[in-house]
Chain A
Amino acid sequence: MANALYPLYKEALLAASANVSLNVNDATDGPFCALIDTGLYTYSTAHDFYNDLAGIIGTDQRISTPTVTTGTFDGDNLTYTSVSGASVEALVIYRKNVGANTTWRLVAFIDTGVTGLPVTPNGGNITVTWNASGIFTL
């Protein structure tokens, strides 16, 4: 699988649907990132919300200080603390909100070209460092 922006997220963007904005810096409302075991989750173009995910490892982290500038989404680096569980082969960025996870939009699936993936958690921290140029560009 290659990296992908979930097409149903793009559809929601174009339709100006609810809960699509990524430049929301709130503890329960904004972009988050999940560590994914692709042994339990397979990307699908039909996936749209968080409840479609499986194989989530560790505790999802919020991408704080998110920015959207000239089409590029960026945010702070992440630290997953004391992670254990199965191996992680992918990252999934999603847009959380205070509602049910059936309304948290899946944004991006990233599993290719990433240094440090796959990683087998050892109970220690896992950090995610985004590129200085940003996370993705539309």
Chain B
Amino acid sequence: MDQRSELTRKFAAAGHGYPRDAVINAGGNMVINAIRQSHGGIAGAEAELADLYERMRAALRERHYMPDGSRREHHIIVPGPDVLFPAGAGAD
């Protein structure tokens, strides 16, 4: 698991059980703190924040919503038995 996925999983686990607003607020504070530590001036900080916003917006659209604006369904497609359990495999 890469570092991004690992950290995302930990954040998700830490936020489990908290109200939605609390999770969003905490996530926002973490973003702000991470950005401000790398920029001595507001211009650079705001530019990075704007870039991050655009990437988040694109990810939201592409991963979670359809082009018509409706929520995207996820599809899991399972291969056939001979692929899932090739001969001699799947014994345990």
Binding site for B on A (CB under 8 A): 2-5, 7, 39, 45, 72, 83, 86-87, 91, 110, 112-117, 119-137
Determine whether the beta carbon of A132 is less than 8 Å from that of B76.
no
Across-interface contacts of A3 in B (CB, < 8 A):
84-85, 89-90
Determine whether the beta carbon of A137 is less than 8 Å from that of B85.
yes
B4 interface residue, CB < 8 Å from A? Answer: no
Instruction: Identify A134's interface contact among B13, B64, B80, CB under 8 A.
Output: B80
Interface size on B, residues (CB 8 A): 25
- Bound CA–CA A70/B12 (angstroms): 44
The interface residues of chain A, by DSSP majority, are classed as loop
Determine whether the beta carbon of A113 is less than 8 Å from that of B76.
no
Stretch at the interface among B29-37, B40-48, B50-58, B67-75: B67-75
A4-B92, A5-B90 given as contacts; is B76 within 8 A of A136 (CB)? no
Instruction: Identify A124's interface contact among B9, B72, B78, B83, CB under 8 A.
Output: B72
